[in-house]
Structure 1
Amino acid sequence: MTGTTTTKRIVVVSSGLSTPSSTRQLADRLTADAVSILGGRGIEVEVEVFELRDLAHDITNNLLLGFAPPKLEQALDAVARADGLIAVTPIFTTSYAGLFKSFIDVIDSQALTDLPVLIGATGGTPRHSLAIDYAIRPLFTYLHAIPVTTGVYAATSDWGDGGDGVRSLPDRIYRGAREFADLVAATDRSNLVSDPFALDRPTGHLIGGLAGE
């Protein structure tokens, strides 16, 4: 009897603005650990990575005109078909980046339902780590996604030499990746269908009270 190999699809979204980017570095570390953990369980993983800065103009055009150019459509389709999402944003002014939120706004309102999400964030100071729980996690919960318990925040000092933060960051990355892998391994989104009566306005317009515009 020949065994079958399960394949899971993970989409990685990084909204860092610089090159190189600590946001992308954190996304890559989270992805590597998640793929390794799933691989150890005999699960193959297909990974697609999207840098939102490369899609910034397309995201804006979608918000203004209501349609997605091909590159953005590819990213939106990938999210809708994914078994798990790793989403990493820099923290600006105590919350997620505007580009990150704009991308979430153009995702179909049903696309994140029951989708495991591993949240990552980067910033200059550890004080902004709370943004994961008061800003980013509620956003995904509102959209019926399943954010893992451990969100991973990396301050500038976490990437330096020495200090407790440097030693604990790999531990936090692994813990978050393990929780994410547990959900991805168990999830089955193959039967999800889009709601034909769903509103076609971006969720940000609804949340922000702009539904009538």
Structure 2
Amino acid sequence: MTAPRTAPAPAPAPVRLAVVSAGLGVPSRTRLLADRITASVRGELASRERPVEVTVVELRDLAVPIAHHLVTGFPPSALEEASLAVARADGLIAVTPVFSASFSGLFKSFFDLLDPDALTGTPVLAAATGGTARHSLVLEHALRPLFAHLRARTVPTAVYAASEDWGGAGDALTGDLPARIGRAARELAVLLDAPAADRAPQPDPADLFA
């Protein structure tokens, strides 16, 4: 008697990863850092056989819609789509340049416009770029409190890249920046690979922006 065939296990659902970059230049070191971190997270999840869907939100392209929303209270369609992508994501990478020893106004304005419950329980990897290592404390005195207020789950390792962390051509990394990126990526991947039941419940994102 032939044993019944067992159905193959269903493929795991893709991990939805949102990447918010607040760089103003084209290209920008902020976007470059965001791309390096994203690639490292992809690699960590690939080692766990988890497919990834990445949505990149370039805040530079949304500066005018963000300003319109601030003064009118109604998000233009491009900003609403970006906000929904962040709210629906399983995890978030958020990278800002340092302005006046804090996050940029554009970065803060975007997160100010999200519903306060949009990031509840969402794993977040916070990162920043700046001209000097003296500004690295922005990760602790500005970014962590912001995401704690939004009730997100910020990974233990945040990533800061000063000018001296980059090679002279801007496309090579020196120092221990690769190690910091790798450690933070592993921490985020562990949270993203955890069963959904182990994560804090989140509201339906579609209701947050109705």
Bin for the TM-score computed over the shorter chain = 0.7 to 0.9
Cα separation, partners in 2 of 1:146 and 1:125, compared to 1, 3 Å: same
Cα separation, partners in 2 of 1:187 and 1:55, compared to 1, 3 Å: farther
TM-score (norm 1): 0.87
Distance in 1, matches of 2:10 and 2:160, equals: 36
Distance in 1, matches of 2:93 and 2:110, equals: 14
Taking the TM superposition and a 5 Å limit, the aligned residue runs for 1:92-131 are 92-131=99-138
Kindly indicate whether residue 169 of structure 2 is the aligned counterpart of residue 171 of structure 1. Answer: no
Q: CA deviation at 1:166?
A: 1.3
Q: Identify the match of residue 39 of structure 2 among 6, 10, 32.
A: 32
Q: Identify the match of residue 136 of structure 1 among 134, 143, 148.
A: 143
Tell me if the contact between 1:5 and 1:42 (Cα under 8 Å) persists in the aligned partners.
no
Tell me if the contact between 2:120 and 2:200 (Cα under 8 Å) persists in the aligned partners.
no
Distance in 1, matches of 2:31 and 2:192, equals: 21
Bigger mean CA deviation after superposition, 152-161 or 108-117? 152-161
Corresponding residue for residue 206 of structure 1:
none
Corresponding residue for residue 97 of structure 2:
90
Corresponding residue for residue 16 of structure 2:
9
Tell me if the contact between 1:118 and 1:180 (Cα under 8 Å) persists in the aligned partners.
yes
Q: What SS does structure 1 have at the residue aligned with 2:157?
A: coil
Distance in 1, matches of 2:61 and 2:195, equals: 30
Kindly indicate whether residue 198 of structure 2 is the aligned counterpart of residue 192 of structure 1. Answer: no
Query: Could you tell me which amino acid in structure 2 is paired with residue 66 of structure 1?
Result: G
Q: What SS does structure 1 have at the residue aligned with 2:94?
A: strand
What is the number of residues matched between the two proteins? 195
Distance in 2, matches of 1:176 and 1:15, equals: 19
Please tell me the root mean square deviation across aligned C-alpha atoms, in Å. Answer: 2.0
Q: Identify the match of residue 82 of structure 2 among 75, 78, 92.
A: 75
Task: List gaps (5 residues or longer) in structure 2.
Answer: 1-6
Distance in 1, matches of 2:156 and 2:67, equals: 31
Q: CA deviation at 1:194?
A: 5.0
Q: What SS does structure 1 have at the residue aligned with 2:146?
A: helix
Q: CA deviation at 1:175?
A: 0.4
Q: Which runs of 4+ in 1 moved over 6 A?
A: none
Q: What SS does structure 2 have at the residue aligned with 1:48?
A: strand
Bigger mean CA deviation after superposition, 76-85 or 184-193? 184-193
Tell me if the contact between 1:61 and 1:68 (Cα under 8 Å) persists in the aligned partners.
yes
Query: Could you tell me which amino acid in structure 1 is paired with residue 145 of structure 2?
Result: P
Bigger mean CA deviation after superposition, 183-192 or 144-153? 183-192
TM-score (norm 2): 0.88
Q: CA deviation at 1:67?
A: 1.1
Distance in 2, matches of 1:5 and 1:169, equals: 34
Tell me if the contact between 2:121 and 2:200 (Cα under 8 Å) persists in the aligned partners.
no
Distance in 1, matches of 2:144 and 2:43, equals: 25
Query: Could you tell me which amino acid in structure 1 is paired with residue 120 of structure 2?
Result: T
Tell me if the contact between 1:110 and 1:194 (Cα under 8 Å) persists in the aligned partners.
no
Q: CA deviation at 1:118?
A: 0.4
Query: Could you tell me which amino acid in structure 1 is paired with residue 163 of structure 2?
Result: T
Q: What SS does structure 2 have at the residue aligned with 1:166?
A: coil
% identical equivalent positions: 53
Q: What SS does structure 1 have at the residue aligned with 2:53?
A: strand
Distance in 2, matches of 1:190 and 1:134, equals: 24
Q: CA deviation at 1:58?
A: 0.4
Task: List gaps (5 residues or longer) in structure 1.
Answer: 201-213
Larger Rg: 2
